[in-house]
Amino acid sequence: MQGLNIIWVFNPTSDKVLFCKRRKEPYKGLYNLVGGKIKQDEDGLDAAYRELHEETSISDIELVHLMDFTYFIADANKYFSGNVCRVEACVGKLQQETDVHGDENELLWLDVSENFFDMSRFAGKGNIGHIYEMIKQNHLDD
């Protein structure tokens, strides 16, 4: 089964979240959380740290595994090997302001007051909004 991760990164005051604007499919042109593929035989949390550093240069953060999504996709072969994709969601908060930069997608900070369920702006078919609701319920934004 193909594994992916997405990482919810708060700024130090927890009023902004790091997003990327997708330059390729899936979700081209929409805001998405940073993340990427989990390599075979790689621990999900280790993969999250690796992907976060590769995509943003962030390395000084503690991540917590929040939840998993499993997708059964008929045409997944366009993007993944097989028809099942597991997405692991992690969350972390920067302890200090950090310069973020990456080459793959444009990186930007969005306010937590955004409507993350707005599928015309955000990737994931509402899952980004769901992730934020889970973060708030578990007080992980404190």
pLDDT tens string for the chain (142 positions)? 568 999 999 999 999 999 999 998 889 999 999 999 999 889 999 999 999 999 999 999 999 999 998 877 665 555 555 667 789 999 999 999 988 988 888 999 999 999 999 999 999 889 999 999 999 998 776 6
- Residue 101 has a pLDDT of 87
Return the CATH fold of 2-137. Nucleoside Triphosphate Pyrophosphohydrolase (3.90.79)
- Residue 75 has a pLDDT of 59
- Calculate the alpha carbon distances from 80 to 14, 37, 86, 110 in Å: 33, 10, 11, 29
- Calculate the alpha carbon distances from 63 to 35, 89, 103, 134 in Å: 12, 10, 22, 15
- Residue 79 has a pLDDT of 54
What are the boundaries of each domain within the chain?
Answer: 2-137
C-alpha radius of gyration, the chain, whole number = 14
Strand partners, 109: 18
